[in-house]
Amino acid sequence: MSPTPVRETWIRSLWQLEVREGVFIHPTTDVVQEMGNKGYNVASIETLVVEGHLLYKEGRLQDLLLLISDINRLLRQAPLIHPERLAIPKTLEEIRATWPQPPAAKPPALDPQVYYDKVYGAWLGKCIGGAFGLPVEGWTHERIISTYGEMRDYAVKPPETLNDDTGYGILLLHAIEKYGTDFTSEQLGREWVSHLPLETTYTAEKIAIENMLRGILPPESGEVDNPYNWWVGGLMKGEVCGLLAPGRPELAAELAIRDGVIAHSGEGVYGEIFCAVLVSAAFYETEIHKLLEIALAYIPPQSKLTEVVRQTMDWCAQADDWHEPMRKVYETYARQYHWVHSFPNAAMMVIGLLFGKGDFEETLRITALCGLDADTTASQVGALMGEIVGESGIPAKWKYPLGDRVETYVEGFEKMKISDIADKTCKVGNLISKV
């Protein structure tokens, strides 16, 4: 008996999904890979994955469904053979113990007009980067070059601003307005549940919302049955935390942790801290090497993310152009980790920042051309460079096509002016600064 068309579509989606043109994800296979990367013994399960690909190809969907069940059962039983990969600081107190001592002094207050110009520039840069990278999300460098060449302008016009990168920052601002500056992860998580349609969420964030609907609240929502909690969603959200804490990296990191543990843990939260501190420090420091060193100081030194960033910085220092370190990232990290994982994407951000040499367009272009989760990486470096140069310093060819507008998946905030989001960010940032 063959499955109905609806059931057939559902079974196929458990094994393979097309997320954008020609870009596929393989949910079951991806979980097996991620469990192996975290230190679990999945060798016997990997043989079942090979069998699953054959069943999918042959259309034996009832057998495939049973095989998926067997894979998930064995994943729950998989022994942890590298416990050191998970034995890393996770709570605010544990992570804070690794930060520089004494803490950085609170900087002088920013001129309100300077603060707004930088915040507006950051939000514009984030939206520009997301729109620029979205058409090539999940692509390799080779595919991007063969399709769009050197990408010196938007690949698609008018640029599309609707993606999942902006909504979480808007909800963070909303939560602080609603609950105050001492908001909890649980309160912010409730805003996710209230305002984010489940069908518009992905991987770690989707599982976190499903967990919260089952009564599993933060930080457990980022841990329980959430194999994607080291993926790029942490990097995606960090810059807003930095914008709310200008020149105060400890505060930016704390906000990133409160936000991050809803859907992530460990290395995934470190990615959010990394981006938050970069942006926080960039209000007073604009030299890229120094910014990277400051951000690394707020990530536990034994973390894999620290290793990835430092290794990439070393490759960049030894290279004449950005292609060489990019190839090494593909060979070393993109081969082992999923294209949505934080490690290879953080590396591509570092390459774009170092070889962009402070130029908004070059930084954006190089980062997107490196490929992988290009809308997220381009939105993050876009936010940082937009902050550094300010709204007034972003070239007209990038900002005017957006028309000061952004669309989001957030119910109640579907269409917004970027300038209004910047204004709201400054108001919340000033509120936090007075605490």
Give the model confidence (pLDDT) of 387-431 as tens digits: 999 999 999 999 999 999 999 999 999 999 999 999 999 999 999
Tell me, yes or no, whether 68 and 187 share the same domain: no
What pLDDT does 146 receive? Answer: 97
On whether residue 90 sits in a domain, the answer given is no
What pLDDT does 435 receive? Answer: 45
Nearest alpha carbon to residue 275 among 402, 178, 379, 190: 379
On whether residue 91 sits in a domain, the answer given is no
Whether 3 shows a pLDDT value over 90: the answer reads no
Amino acid sitting at position 132: F
The rounded distance, in Å, linking the Cα atoms of 345 and 138 is 11
On whether residue 215 sits in a domain, the answer given is yes
On whether residue 92 sits in a domain, the answer given is no
Tell me, yes or no, whether 302 and 164 share the same domain: yes
Which whole-number Å values give the CA distances from 426 to 12, 23, 81, 138, in the listed order? 46, 37, 47, 33
Whether 105 shows a pLDDT value over 90: the answer reads no
Tell me, yes or no, whether 153 and 34 share the same domain: no
Tell me, yes or no, whether 280 and 179 share the same domain: yes
On whether residue 423 sits in a domain, the answer given is yes
The rounded distance, in Å, linking the Cα atoms of 124 and 134 is 15
Nearest alpha carbon to residue 160 among 382, 406, 410: 406
pLDDT tens profile 257-281: 999 999 999 999 999 999 999 999 9
On whether residue 347 sits in a domain, the answer given is yes
Residue 372, strand partner residues? 139
Tell me, yes or no, whether 399 and 273 share the same domain: yes
Answer whether 204's CB lies under 8 Å from 215's CB. Answer: no
Q: HSE of 394 in the Cβ direction (CA atoms, 13 Å)?
A: 30
Tell me, yes or no, whether 234 and 160 share the same domain: yes
Q: Which residues contact 243 (CB under 8 A, 6 or more apart)?
A: 119, 122, 123, 279, 280, 387, 425, 429
Mean pLDDT of 13-37: 92
b/e burial code for range 371-401 (CB count within 10 A of at least 16 → b): bbbbbbbbbbbbbbbbbbbbbeebeeebbee
Residue 397 or 5, more confident: 397
Whether 338 shows a pLDDT value over 50: the answer reads yes
pLDDT band at 434 (very low <50, low <70, confident <90, very high): low
Q: Helix (H, G, I), strand (E, B), or coil: what is residue 405?
A: strand
Residue 149, Ramachandran bin (φ over 0: left; ψ between -120 and 50: alpha; else beta): left
Cis peptide before 27 (omega within 30 of 0): no
Q: Calculate the average pLDDT of the chain.
A: 95
pLDDT tens profile 208-255: 999 999 999 999 999 999 999 999 999 999 999 999 999 999 999 999
Tell me, yes or no, whether 223 and 142 share the same domain: yes
Tell me, yes or no, whether 115 and 72 share the same domain: no
pLDDT tens profile 344-382: 999 999 999 999 999 999 999 999 999 999 999 999 999
Tell me, yes or no, whether 236 and 101 share the same domain: yes
The rounded distance, in Å, linking the Cα atoms of 368 and 370 is 5
Mean pLDDT of 56-66: 96
Structural domain ending residue among the three candidates 85, 107, 134 = 85
The rounded distance, in Å, linking the Cα atoms of 119 and 384 is 10
pTM of the model: 0.96
The rounded distance, in Å, linking the Cα atoms of 220 and 225 is 9
Whether 170 shows a pLDDT value over 80: the answer reads yes
Which range of residues forms the domain containing residue 411? 97-433
Tell me, yes or no, whether 19 and 136 share the same domain: no
Nearest alpha carbon to residue 315 among 348, 275, 360: 348
Within a 10 A sphere around the Cβ of 284, how many other Cβ atoms? 13
Tokens read off for 285: 């420091």
Helix (H) or strand (E) holding 24: strand 23-25
pLDDT band at 107 (very low <50, low <70, confident <90, very high): confident
Specify the number of domains making up the chain.
2
The rounded distance, in Å, linking the Cα atoms of 244 and 427 is 9
pLDDT band at 156 (very low <50, low <70, confident <90, very high): very high
Considering the chain, what percentage of its residues have pLDDT values greater than 70?
Answer: 99
Tell me, yes or no, whether 178 and 45 share the same domain: no
Answer whether 277's CB lies under 8 Å from 298's CB. Answer: yes
Structural domain ending residue among the three candidates 34, 57, 85 = 85
What pLDDT does 19 receive? Answer: 82
Cis peptide before 344 (omega within 30 of 0): no
DSSP3 helix / strand / coil % (the chain, rounded to 5)? 65, 5, 30
Structural domain ending residue among the three candidates 85, 113, 134 = 85
The rounded distance, in Å, linking the Cα atoms of 189 and 236 is 16
What pLDDT does 216 receive? Answer: 98
Nearest alpha carbon to residue 184 among 258, 239, 131: 258
Q: Which residues contact 332 (CB under 8 A, 6 or more apart)?
A: 311
Residue 379, strand partner residues? none
The rounded distance, in Å, linking the Cα atoms of 354 and 321 is 10
pLDDT band at 108 (very low <50, low <70, confident <90, very high): confident
On whether residue 34 sits in a domain, the answer given is yes
What pLDDT does 20 receive? Answer: 77
Tell me, yes or no, whether 321 and 196 share the same domain: yes
pLDDT tens profile 110-131: 999 999 999 999 999 999 999 9
Tokens read off for 382: 């876009």
